[in-house]
Structure 1
């Protein structure tokens, strides 16, 4: 009878917890080496467990734990859980202490619509922070982090300006999306015209159906076409993917779930995914992936581990 991959993964993680507890001796290390040499499946489970432990060890608390740990195994397991929680909390704030200075914020998985004093409306996506400063001559907003969709009320005397990471988007009456989650800020225009000013280049005008990305100190990338049918689908409570790599899909999904999603196999990142998914049930996407893709999904506190499915 072939060993069950999930059971082997649990055993491998159990071994690593003991080996990193600070009390393991040479005998226990030899026992782990003998265990992982039993079969290719044992070795694969050991490598995946080591990849998981390596991801956790990047946190300062994990490093300190490995240096000081001299506690019984049960406390070591609790420390591992604390490391996972530290990873999750470190990504939970859009910026350090963003909620203390932003006018509007959203938690993980939360989406919020805001009515502004001029009649404009803003939809904040998960994990976002926004400040608003309206004056007599302009309507200034700052997207500290995250993503927001702006539906701007017309007022030619007061341009509507959204600042994000060293650049700004100017509009009078239009509808556009600003996403500052990644290394670059992305601007999508679904109605009207906006002007994007960034520190790295000349101003660029964007019309409906166009997209542009810019960095803080780099010239903006060339204007790209925008698929209006799927643009800002999150505002409608949907995630829409059309032949998107699995790695990108998981990066997008991660923002709506607490904690982290860890994909242990680099080749799987390129598997293509298509579908329409409900944001009110992001866990259903994981179930669908497990059913349609060659993956196994393991849910841990503050962590989702995605591994290659065992071969039949």
Structure 2
């Protein structure tokens, strides 16, 4: 049996033992299980360290005298599940107004009436409002790649956050996940306006971010810019913390990194979005980390822990 299988068994034991419904005999069986070999004992210790690293279980232990023991499991599961369900669904506004939306891990191609095409990334929402003089779209959340059909008489305008991106015929990406909005152009030219500031012209191979106003224009890595649309994620010397935040968009639940020093560790690699399990296997193969999957939670920790 592999180390990962043993650790998963040990975690199953801990969930049962902290459920508040376990019989004394099961505790003796767990002691016997961990005594089977040094590998079993090591897996049990790793699982106990992981259990102690979960914020909800630490809170539960501080209140042990006041609440039932099963609070540890209930609190941890409820906390993670609530966050996961919230992350998996579009925002309430998007649910009301969006014409198109995707859930966590879903990507979708939308063919618009004018011949334009839109690729919606995971957990994204978009509304479309076309008229005889204007093509107006609103990205409520998430990310979308736009391939715009030429129509000089009807500007193609994407509203996201506190700004807008205007194009006539081009290919560009708008990402509104963070506190600001990221715009990246892979073909043609767009105009970016935000905060009442002068518009900024953005050409192919360029990107910028805006919030209250457009930020500086920066070069764009064309190979990785729209890789998600092809079912890939490409990272080149990106901090592990940023990589995990990106991977979390495509997995149900949350990702917990137990070691802050690892957050700055540089990551390079190609990840396949169509195989969520392979995402984690690739991460574990390329980096000095150990990955453990629980319902609605992925725990990433150093290999030495």
Q: Quick check: TM above 0.5?
A: yes
Is the alpha carbon distance of 1:182 and 1:265 closer, same or farther for their aligned partners in structure 2, counting shifts above 3 Å? same
Contact 1:166–1:199, Cα closer than 8 Å, also in 2 = yes
Is the alpha carbon distance of 1:17 and 1:185 closer, same or farther for their aligned partners in structure 2, counting shifts above 3 Å? farther
1:231 equivalenced with 2:233 (yes/no): no
2:182 corresponds to which residue?
A: 186
1:125 equivalenced with 2:121 (yes/no): yes
**Helix, strand or coil at the partner of 1:211:** strand
1:204 equivalenced with 2:200 (yes/no): yes
Aligned residue among 220, 240, 261 for 2:255? 261
1:290 equivalenced with 2:284 (yes/no): yes
Aligned residue among 41, 52, 55 for 2:54? 52
1:107 corresponds to which residue?
A: 103
Tell me, in whole angstroms, the C-alpha distance in 2 between the residues paired with 1:76 and 1:269.
27
Per mean C-alpha deviation after superposition, the further-off stretch among 198-207 and 144-153 is: 198-207
Structure 2, unmatched stretches of 5+, are 21-42
Tell me, in whole angstroms, the C-alpha distance in 1 between the residues paired with 2:229 and 2:130.
24
Contact 2:8–2:292, Cα closer than 8 Å, also in 1 = no
1:137 corresponds to which residue?
A: 133
Matches within 5 A, 1:1-312: 6=7, 10=11, 17=18, 48-54=50-56, 70-71=67-68, 73=70, 77-96=73-92, 98-199=94-195, 201-215=197-211, 217=212, 219-310=213-304
| Shift, 1:78, TM fit | 4.2
Contact 2:185–2:205, Cα closer than 8 Å, also in 1 = yes
Tell me, in whole angstroms, the C-alpha distance in 1 between the residues paired with 2:81 and 2:219.
39
Contact 2:51–2:57, Cα closer than 8 Å, also in 1 = no
2:33 corresponds to which residue?
A: none
Structure 1, unmatched stretches of 5+, are 22-40
Is the alpha carbon distance of 1:310 and 1:175 closer, same or farther for their aligned partners in structure 2, counting shifts above 3 Å? same
Deviations 1:177-199 (A, max 9, x none): 00000111000000110000001
| Shift, 1:292, TM fit | 2.8
Tell me, in whole angstroms, the C-alpha distance in 2 between the residues paired with 1:238 and 1:69.
48
Is the alpha carbon distance of 1:15 and 1:104 closer, same or farther for their aligned partners in structure 2, counting shifts above 3 Å? closer
Deviations 1:127-153 (A, max 9, x none): 000000001110000000000000000
Q: TM-score, normalised by structure 2?
A: 0.81
Tell me, in whole angstroms, the C-alpha distance in 2 between the residues paired with 1:111 and 1:251.
17
Q: TM-score, normalised by structure 1?
A: 0.79
**Helix, strand or coil at the partner of 1:230:** helix
**Helix, strand or coil at the partner of 1:229:** helix
| Shift, 1:227, TM fit | 1.0
Contact 1:9–1:49, Cα closer than 8 Å, also in 2 = no
Q: CA RMSD for the aligned pairs?
A: 3.3
